[in-house]
Amino acid sequence: MEDLLTYLITLIMSGFGIWYAYKIFKGSTKPALSTWIIMFTGTGLSLITYLLASNWEFRPGILNILDVSVTVIIIIATLLWSKAKVKFRTFEKWYLVIAGLITLFWILTKNPFGANLLIQALILIGYFPTIQKLVTEKQNTESFSAWLIAYSAGILAIFPAMKSSSILPIIYVGRTLVMQAIIISLMIYYEKFFAFRKFKKQLK
C-alpha cells in the first residue's frame, strides 16, 4: 500500500511539473522566476534538514522531495523558454534573508530538527502574498487545476508521512494541506463572489 501511494504521489506531482513546464514552453504561463527561486530555497532547506534529522527516511518525506523536484523543473523551464528575469520583491528579499539566518542557526547549533521547524514556519509565511492578492483583488487569479493537483498529492502523502519515526513529515504535510485549503477556499469564495457581482450587473 505504501509503495502504491508513493508511486501515485510521484505520478501526480511529476505530471504537474511536466504540464506546467509545457505551459511555459507554449507561452500560456509566465511564472515569476523569483517566486520559484524562493520556493526552491524553502523546500530545499526543508528537505536537507529533514533527511539529516530523520536518518535519511526518504519515503515519508516524499512530498517534500517532489516539491523540490517540481520546483527545479519549473525553474529550468522558465530559464529555457521564458523571458522572465530575476527581480526580487521586498517580501522575497526578506524571505531569503530569513532563510540565510535559519541556515546559520542550523550550522551553529548542528540541530537540523529545530532548523526544519523554523523552515516550516518560513514556508507557511511564503503563502501570505498569494492570500493577500486574493483578498485585495477580491477575485480568483489562481489556477484551480494547479492547486487541486497539489492538494490531492498532499492528501495521499499523509499516509507515508505517518509511517515515519520523525514528526517532521507530518508537520510538512499538515502545513501544506492547511495553507492550500485556505487558498482554495478563498479561490472558491471569490470565484462565486465575482460571478454573483457580474450577475447583479446584468440584472440592472
Residue 165 DSSP symbol = S
**Is the pLDDT confidence value at 193 over 80?**
no
| Cα torsion 16, 20, 26, 28: sign | positive
pLDDT digits over 141-165, tens only?
Answer: 788 888 999 999 999 999 999 999 9
- All three cell numbers of 129, joined, read 502574498
Distances (CA, A) of 204 to 55, 195, 196, 201: 65, 15, 13, 5
Domain range annotation of the chain: 2-203
Q: Please check whether residue 169 is in contact with residue 61, taking contact to mean a CB–CB distance below 8 angstroms.
A: yes
Distances (CA, A) of 102 to 20, 97, 99, 116: 30, 9, 5, 9
What confidence category does residue 8 fall into, taking pLDDT thresholds of 50, 70 and 90?
very high
